[in-house]
């Protein structure tokens, strides 16, 4: 939506907002669920059973085609490849082994000029632009035509929804970044319904103890087959539902995306909603996708986008070693992302998954963002802090903020059972993990502020450091 459209929407009564949402919902359904969607999801489903050599040939062919397209049709890449000494001969015969010869695409370049990644043909008549606010508040813009949009939805249908035993065509609820309810002041309902896609969209910005009965009423009324969206929003909602003892509809599956599903969230969600939880990893750039199988292992779909996990020296990590994610997308042939440093940390699994999908490698750990790594006075870099909030029954939500090398603020949203003992557990766990030299201030809040996108950052570090130093294990 444009800013003017958003202002008109925010000033409109609920009934008129519903009309607008259904008009937009019809447009989105026609754009997203066309013939490309149908063909593409079936192709992804078929490739799951391919032998390893056939899958590798396919992935390499996709990579070669995208690199050649970038070199021949995007001036930015053509200049960069030549600067790095990549010859026409290498481009013509490009293989996976040649990928390290190509330069990285920095996020700062994408933020500053996303149109520079468009092919010359697409630049003359750009596809529809979509923007999302990142952690800095500076938007990242992507350009998708209808075919790209359908492709991106098709891979999720084949490898996320269907793995969870559901379909994106079935009724669903969503907690996400769209501002479907004006921020404040606001009154119920805290949801809007898109009847064309049978989707009830729940506001991520109004989940409070007072408002939770309205959310539960919406879920009980519309009875979604699948609950989708932000893991933090669903977890926050579940905590209040549990505390208030409310009866809530049980979906067939919960699929979380756009945020890391912290280990302590899965059992809480499965207990409250009496349903299996499946995690997705992706991004607005749609360069890569990883999804949970039935064994709760996060598989990377290399036929959608190629994934590298690299050490600070640019070499691939060993299994179990945390490194920086570098992505090359295949689905978007108009705006091309090659060796994109997305700013996330992860590690390959040390063991194969028993589900049998051996051609789709497994992430053993999805750590989070580079900028959210905690840097300590002794030079240590700490990335796994989810245990700080584990099994604290009195806590609805928590966030760790590093203000300086040795000073931390822990924001908590307490439930009625929260006590001084919970605060001392948090403080003690922080000191055990980070050392006795730190100070910890615990702040009790009614709600933890979200990013402009509606997401919760579980760890926020305000310590300045060189990005290249952050991919160490």
**Distance between CA atoms of residues 310 and 325, nearest Å:** 7
How does the average pLDDT of the chain come out, rounded?
89
Both tokens of 454, joined, read 């509606």
The CATH number given to whatever domain includes residue 445 is: 3.30.300.30
**Residues counted in the chain:** 473
Given 347, 369, 391, the domain boundary residue is 369
Report the range out of 32-36, 109-113, 222-226, 320-324 with the highest average pLDDT: 222-226
Work out how many domains the chain is built from and give that number: 2
Structure-derived torsion over alpha carbons of residues 283, 284, 288, 291, reported in degrees to the nearest 10 = 50
Count CA within 13 A, CB hemisphere, residue 163. Answer: 29
pLDDT value for 112: 85
Asked whether residue 419 falls in the same domain as residue 273, the answer is no
Looking at the DSSP bridge assignments, the partners of residue 327 are: 307, 340
Give 448's pLDDT tier (boundaries 50, 70, 90). confident
Mean pLDDT of 30-59: 95
The yes-or-no verdict on residue 45 having pLDDT over 60 is: yes
Given 334, 369, 404, the domain boundary residue is 369
Classified as helix, coil or strand, 399 is: strand
Asked whether residue 427 falls in the same domain as residue 318, the answer is no
**Distance between CA atoms of residues 465 and 404, nearest Å:** 11
φ/ψ of 295, rounded to 5, equals -100, 15
Residue 304 · residue 59 · CB < 8 Å: no
Residue 233 lies in a domain: yes
Residue 411 · residue 448 · CB < 8 Å: yes
Residue 250 lies in a domain: yes
Residue 281 · residue 366 · CB < 8 Å: yes
59: containing domain: 33-170+225-369
The yes-or-no verdict on residue 473 having pLDDT over 50 is: no
Residue 195 lies in a domain: no
Asked whether residue 362 falls in the same domain as residue 378, the answer is no
Residue with tokens 């994610």: 325
Asked whether residue 303 falls in the same domain as residue 384, the answer is no
Asked whether residue 412 falls in the same domain as residue 462, the answer is yes
Q: What is the pLDDT of residues 326-336, one digit of tens each?
A: 999 999 999 99
pLDDT value for 370: 64
**Distance between CA atoms of residues 298 and 300, nearest Å:** 7
The yes-or-no verdict on residue 358 having pLDDT over 70 is: yes
Asked whether residue 249 falls in the same domain as residue 396, the answer is no
Report the range out of 45-54, 381-390, 409-418 with the highest average pLDDT: 45-54
Asked whether residue 399 falls in the same domain as residue 356, the answer is no
The yes-or-no verdict on residue 9 having pLDDT over 90 is: no
Given 345, 369, 393, the domain boundary residue is 369
Give 8's pLDDT tier (boundaries 50, 70, 90). confident
Residue 245 lies in a domain: yes
Residue with tokens 């899958």: 55
Asked whether residue 347 falls in the same domain as residue 380, the answer is no
Asked whether residue 341 falls in the same domain as residue 392, the answer is no
The CATH number given to whatever domain includes residue 116 is: 3.40.50.12780
Asked whether residue 154 falls in the same domain as residue 261, the answer is yes
Asked whether residue 387 falls in the same domain as residue 351, the answer is no
Classified as helix, coil or strand, 393 is: coil
Asked whether residue 263 falls in the same domain as residue 382, the answer is no
């Amino acid at each position: 939506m444009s800013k003017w459209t958003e202002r008109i929407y925010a000033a409109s009564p609920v009934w008129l907002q519903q009309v607008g949402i259904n008009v937009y919902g019809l447009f989105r359904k026609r754009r997203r669920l066309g013939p490309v969607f149908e063909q593409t999801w079936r192709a992804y489903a078929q490739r799951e059973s391919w032998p390893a050599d056939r899958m590798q040939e396919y992935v390499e062919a996709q990579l070669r085609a995208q690199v050649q397209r970038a070199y021949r049709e995007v001036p930015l890449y053509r200049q960069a490849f030549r600067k790095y000494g990549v010859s026409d001969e290498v481009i013509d015969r490009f293989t996976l082994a040649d990928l390290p010869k190509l330069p990285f695409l920095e996020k700062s370049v994408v933020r500053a000029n996303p149109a520079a990644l468009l092919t010359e043909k697409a630049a003359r008549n750009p596809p529809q632009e979509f923007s999302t606010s990142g952690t800095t508040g500076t938007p990242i813009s992507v350009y998708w035509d209808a075919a790209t949009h359908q492709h991106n939805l098709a891979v999720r249908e084949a490898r996320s929804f269907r793995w969870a035993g559901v379909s994106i065509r079935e009724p669903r609820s969503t907690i996400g970044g769209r501002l479907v309810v004006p921020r404040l002041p606001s009154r119920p309902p805290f949801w809007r319904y898109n009847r064309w896609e049978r989707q009830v969209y729940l506001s991520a910005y109004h989940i409070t103890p007072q408002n939770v009965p309205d959310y539960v009423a919406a879920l009980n009324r519309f009875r979604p087959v699948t609950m989708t969206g932000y893991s933090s929003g669903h977890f926050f909602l579940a905590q209040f539902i549990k505390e208030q003892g409310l009866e809530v509809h049980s979906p067939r599956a919960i699929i979380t995306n756009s945020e890391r599903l912290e280990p302590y969230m899965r059992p809480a969600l499965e207990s409250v909603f009496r349903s299996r939880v499946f995690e997705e990893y992706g991004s607005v750039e749609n360069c890569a996708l990883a999804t949970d199988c039935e064994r709760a292992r996060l598989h990377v779909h290399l036929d959608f986008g190629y994934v590298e996990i690299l050490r600070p020296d640019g070499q691939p990590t060993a299994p179990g070693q945390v490194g920086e994610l570098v992505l090359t997308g295949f689905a978007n042939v108009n705006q091309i992302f090659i060796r994109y440093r997305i700013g996330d940390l992860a590690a390959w699994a040390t063991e194969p998954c028993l589900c049998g999908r051996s051609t789709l490698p497994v992430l053993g750990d999805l750590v989070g963002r580079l900028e959210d790594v905690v840097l300590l006075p002794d030079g240590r870099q700490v990335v796994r802090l989810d245990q700080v909030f584990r099994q604290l029954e009195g806590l609805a939500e928590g966030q760790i903020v590093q203000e300086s090398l040795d000073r931390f603020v822990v924001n908590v949203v307490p439930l009625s059972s929260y006590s001084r003992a919970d605060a001392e557990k948090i403080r003690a766990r922080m000191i055990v993990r980070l050392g006795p030299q730190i100070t910890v201030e615990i702040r009790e809040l009614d709600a933890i502020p979200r990013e402009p996108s509606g997401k919760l950052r579980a760890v926020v570090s305000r310590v300045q450091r060189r990005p290249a130093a952050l991919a160490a294990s």
